[in-house]
């Protein structure tokens, strides 16, 4: 089975693009690639876009963009999905242009967002090299490891995990089952990786939430940039969901802030990479090694 390389981009449906632009550029250190009345395209690296915000009223995850290295791998993958009974749509040039890629196919997730499969992402010209005045330590960890990771809220965990592993072909990294992350709230989550091995590109579990996404994680190259971002969040008075802490499975040192759409943004450093040849799947009983104290009366955010 041809494999997904990584999670190349994410698409959100959001009601307030101005607020998102300020949050992304003045707090997170992203750069605006392009902005129109209905779309905000955000850059993290040499790509034209990594995080796409489309105007809407859902304030939720719209699509995950799964990346393939070549047209042949993408085509073979789509054939296999169809053999497995998945209704895969071949998108026209309009969607490919909107995603700044050569070719896109898509299908539906059991929880209502879209999985898009693509190859050939557009790179920005050198004259528009990625630069954020906020980042002190060399930018974001992207490249072959992709945009970051997403925690998708499952309605039926078994159904979601079956779809992500048996249909999409993601591999299990590990599990966290924390019986009481805060009093009365359990976390029961599954973490999955793609071929290039970011510890997880997608995680899922049943958490109390009306949204399809719990959080997006983006990773910086230096721990100092996590501290600087944390200071900017505090100084701006933005709602911190979970304070600084470290997860036991991906070892990420991170904090969680609420985005303008209400779901979480995990800002992290130090996440590990899975090498399949010597990886053993494990299960952890605590969400965090240390820290990650909840500072909002909000649904729990898992690694």
List of residues contacting Fe ion (CB under 5 A): 217, 266, 303
Name the residue with tokens 């109390």.
208
Neighbouring C-beta atoms of residue 161, cutoff 10 Å: 18
CB of 219 to Fe ion, least distance (A): 10
Task: Report helix, strand or coil for 266.
Answer: strand
- Give the pair of three-digit tokens for residue 45: 């690296």
Task: Decide whether 24 or 303 has the Cβ nearer to Fe ion.
Answer: 303
Residue nearest to Fe ion (CB): 217
Task: Decide whether 103 or 193 has the Cβ nearer to Fe ion.
Answer: 193
Neighbouring C-beta atoms of residue 200, cutoff 10 Å: 30
DSSP 46-86: SBS-SEEEEE-SS-EEEEEEEEESSHHHHHHHHHHHHHTT-
Task: Decide whether 51 or 217 has the Cβ nearer to Fe ion.
Answer: 217
Task: Decide whether 88 or 217 has the Cβ nearer to Fe ion.
Answer: 217
Task: Decide whether 68 or 175 has the Cβ nearer to Fe ion.
Answer: 175
* Full strand arrangement of the beta sheet holding 171-182: 282-284, 171-182, 185-193, 202-205, 149-153, 213-219, 264-269, 253-258, 240-246, 290-291
CB contact burial 207-244 (16+ within 10 A = b; e otherwise): bebebbbbbbbbbbbeeebbebbbebbeeeebebbbeb
CB of 151 to Fe ion, least distance (A): 5
CB of 150 to Fe ion, least distance (A): 8
CB of 283 to Fe ion, least distance (A): 17
- Give the pair of three-digit tokens for residue 141: 């960890």
Name the residue with tokens 């759409």.
261
Residues 6+ away with beta carbon under 8 Å from 275: 197
Task: Decide whether 100 or 196 has the Cβ nearer to Fe ion.
Answer: 196
CB of 216 to Fe ion, least distance (A): 8
CB of 209 to Fe ion, least distance (A): 14
Task: Decide whether 2 or 245 has the Cβ nearer to Fe ion.
Answer: 245
The span from the CA of 255 to the CA of 229, in Å, is 9
CB of 139 to Fe ion, least distance (A): 19
């Amino acid at each position: 089975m041809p494999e997904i390389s990584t999670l190349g981009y994410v698409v959100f449906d959001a009601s307030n693009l101005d607020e998102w632009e300020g949050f992304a550029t003045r707090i997170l250190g992203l750069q605006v690639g392009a902005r129109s009345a209905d779309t905000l395209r955000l850059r993290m690296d040499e790509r034209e876009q990594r995080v796409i915000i489309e105007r809407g009223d859902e304030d939720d995850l719209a699509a995950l963009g799964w990346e393939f290295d070549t047209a042949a791998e993408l085509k073979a993958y789509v054939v296999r999905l169809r053999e497995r009974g998945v209704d895969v749509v071949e998108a026209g040039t309009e969607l490919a242009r909107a995603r700044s890629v050569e070719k896109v196919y898509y299908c539906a997730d059991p929880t209502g967002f879209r999985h898009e499969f693509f190859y050939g992402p557009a790179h920005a010209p050198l004259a528009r090299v990625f630069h954020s005045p906020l980042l002190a330590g060399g930018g974001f960890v992207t490249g072959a490891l992709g945009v970051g990771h997403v925690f998708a809220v499952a309605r039926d965990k078994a159904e979601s995990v079956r779809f992500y592993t048996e249909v999409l072909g993601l591999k299990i990294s590990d599990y966290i089952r924390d019986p009481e992350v805060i009093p009365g709230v359990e976390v029961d989550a599954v973490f999955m990786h793609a071929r290039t091995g970011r510890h997880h590109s997608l995680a899922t579990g049943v958490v109390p939430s009306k949204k399809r996404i719990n959080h997006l994680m983006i990773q910086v190259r230096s721990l100092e940039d996590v501290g600087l971002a944390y200071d900017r969040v505090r100084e701006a008075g933005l709602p911190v969901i979970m304070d600084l802490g470290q997860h036991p499975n991906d070892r990420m040192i991170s904090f969680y802030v609420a985005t303008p759409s209400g779901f979480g943004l995990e800002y992290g450093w130090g996440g590990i990479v899975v090498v399949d040849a010597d990886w053993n799947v494990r299960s952890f009983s605590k969400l965090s090694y240390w820290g990650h104290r909840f500072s909002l009366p909000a649904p729990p955010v898992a690694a």
